[in-house]
Each structure stands twice: as structure tokens, then as C-alpha cells.
Amino acid sequence: MTRKETFNFSSGPSVLPAEALERAGAEICNFGSSGMSVMEMSHRSPIYEGIFAEVKTKLKKALSVPDSHEILFLQGGASMQFSMIPMNLMGEKGCADYAVTGNFSDTAYKEAKKYGTVNLAASSEDKNHTYIPAQNEITTDPNASYFYYCANNTIYGTQWKYVPETGAVPIACDMSSEILSKPVDIKKYGVIFAGAQKNMAPAGLTVVIIDKALAGRELPFTPLMMSYGLMIEKDSMFNTPPCWNIYILGLVLDWLESRGGVIGMEKETVEKAKMVYDVLDESRLFNACAEPGARSNMNITFRTKSREIDAAFVKEAEARGLLNLKGHRSVGGMRASVYNAQPIEGILALAEYMRDFEVKNRV
């Protein structure tokens, strides 16, 4: 089966732009006239420093990052940020607000308790995380050091459609599964972070965008590598960064720009997601899991009334080259992740298959 005959709906690591992979393949043994792979370059060499600076500039441009904020290229995934955020931001006040709208924000909420007092500012657990709390359902503490939420819930297929109003309290946001899919007003956030393996680059890179004014307040036992202040001071190079992953991010950003940047992506994303949700809304077999106002444009979760039919759907999909449509083990059903690099052909193939499958499995 050639690459073109398959579409990968994995929730992450997930599909990357074919153009980026082809370019990486063409120069994998010898980048430019260097005689070296990017994987072999000293991170302190002028050639790699050039790549690094260029990727940072491209990301700054793509997301319109203001000069008040610094871009960091770190490791450890979003899970490392679950600890790094409280260790750095809990500060003197020693308390923080958390909105729990899924598995990952729940893990972050529990982890933060190691480092201070944590308020459950909002939760969607009462309806199994199928919705996003409205502003008036959030109880914020004006004395909190920060307010934390996860913008897109990969497992449950829900997405915040607004930025919570928190007054003077800085916002920390996990954007792992929606970053670069739409414009973001970075100034509204104290810290944004994202594991790269959904919309940016291969797993092993974590992008952090932090208001520099928030750095330098880490707790005394904070590990060196987990100090935002040190990472800002060293431009993410206190030690060797994940050089290859950063390079691939650059190739992905070139592709992104060629498609109109985050504005182009938002248009494509909304269209792509709508095509699948339209099938779900017309269907008598499939049901979307998320409430209409909270539907994610990145991860579309759905199911039939029967586990057996769900399993058959996933199995037949694989045979048609529609890969990784099984829902997360904690919720079951199906999940189609339609990140930036998911081509429209993949969406068309999925929609067609869903309609075909429904005809064959009339209820």
C-alpha cells in the first residue's frame, strides 16, 4: 500500500505534511552543502544556530507572538508542563485555579496539588466531559497565581470556543491539539504550551510561549531544566535541544505559510470538520459525542449504539486505508483527528466511507 492510499486519523503522533517529509528525506544525509545530517550537527554550530533562529522567527510570525512573550523549545511533552507550570507560577500566592474538561486537564490539576493550593474553578465531569463550561459556570479566585485550562480535549473531542475572562489572573493554556489551527491572541495568555506531535513536529518537542514577566519565580526545588527563567536566559539551549524535531517544525511552518498561515488553516479546519459533523448530523447510525456548542474541529468523536458496530466500522476502515479511527480506550467509540496536515482527500474518503457503512448497516 503506498502512502497515497492511506489516511492517518491518529490523535497524535499524527499525520505530517507530505511536502515536509519529502524535503526532510531529500536532505536527511546531507543538509545543504554541510556534509552532515541535521541530526549530526552540533547545536552550537553556526549552521544549526541558523536553523534554530529561523524556525523561531517563523513560529513567531505564524502565531504573531508579541515581543512581551518568549518562545521556548523544550522536551518532556505537555506532561512535563503539568509540573513546570505550578513550579514556576505558583509563586508567593501559592494557589491556582484549574478548569477540568478532560483527562489531560485532570492530570494537570492533580499534579499542581504537589506545589500549592488548587481550586477546581470549573469541571465538565458531570456530563462525562461532553461539553465546555460557560463563562458564568467558572468560579475564579482573584488571588490565584494563574488560571489553567486545556483548549482542546483530544480524548473527548471538545474545544473551548472562547478565552475565559480571568481579570488580572494570568492564563496558562494547554494548546497541544489545536495550536496552529487558528489565530490566537497571545497577549491574553501568560503561558501557552503544546506538545509538538499533533500540529507541529514529531514527538519529543514541546513549544512554550511565555510572558517573560512571569519568569523567575520558581520554587526553590525546581529542577534546572524546568526553570522558565533559565530557559529564557539560555534561549532553550541550556543543554542540547531536540534539534531534529525543531528542524522539522521549520519545514511544517514553511508548508503552513504556503497554505495561508493560521488564517488559511482555520478556514480549512472549519470546512474539514464541518464535512464530518454534517455526516454525523444527517446520520441515524452515528452520534457525535460532544455537545454541538463544544465540538472540536481537531478531534471528532462519534459512536453508534453498539460496540460491535463500532468495532466493525474501525476494522473495515483500516481495510480501506483509513487508519487509527478507534476512540481512546477510556471512552470507546470512534475518533477522527483532522489536524492541519490531514488532507481534504482524507476527509472526503472518511465521509464517503461513513455514508457507505451506514447504508450497509441500516438501523
Identify residues 246-265 at the interface with a copy of itself (CB under 8 A): 248
Residue with cell 452520534: 287
**How many residues belong to the site for a copy of itself (CB under 8 A)?**
71
State the cell numbers at 158.
471538545
State the cell numbers at 333.
467509540
CB nearer to a copy of itself: give 96 or 132: 96
Q: Rounded distance, CA 314 to CA 359, Å?
A: 16
Q: Rounded distance, CA 335 to CA 202, Å?
A: 21
- Which residues within the stretch 163-202 sit at the binding site for a copy of itself (CB under 8 A)? 195, 197, 202
What pairs with residue 193 in β-bridges? Answer: 174, 208
Residue type for position 132: I
CB nearer to a copy of itself: give 36 or 163: 36
**Position among 11, 145, 152, 159 found at the interface with a copy of itself (CB under 8 A):** 11
- Evaluate whether 89 touches 116 at the Cβ level (below 8 Å): no
CB nearer to a copy of itself: give 85 or 294: 85
Query: Which ranges in 225-306 belong to alpha helices (H)?
Result: 228-233, 243-258, 261-282
At 42, is the secondary structure helix, strand, or coil? coil
Give the contact letters, 106-145, x = binds to a copy of itself (CB under 8 A), - = no.
-x---x--xx------------------------------
28 binds a copy of itself (CB under 8 A): yes
Those residues whose C-beta lies under 8 Å from the C-beta of residue 178, and which sit 6 or more positions away, are 151, 152, 159, 199, 296, 297, 298
Give the contact letters, 74-113, x = binds to a copy of itself (CB under 8 A), - = no.
-xxxxxx-xxx--x-------------------x---x--
Residue 18 CB, shortest distance to a copy of itself, in Å, is 7
**Position among 30, 57, 64, 143 found at the interface with a copy of itself (CB under 8 A):** 30
43 binds a copy of itself (CB under 8 A): yes
CB nearer to a copy of itself: give 79 or 283: 79
Neighbours of 328 (CB within 10 A): 17
Residue 77 CB, shortest distance to a copy of itself, in Å, is 4
CB nearer to a copy of itself: give 249 or 294: 249
CA 351 to chain CA centroid, Å, is 24
Angle formed by the axes of helices 344-360 and 261-282, nearest 10°: 0
**Position among 41, 65, 249, 325 found at the interface with a copy of itself (CB under 8 A):** 41
Residue 331 CB, shortest distance to a copy of itself, in Å, is 14
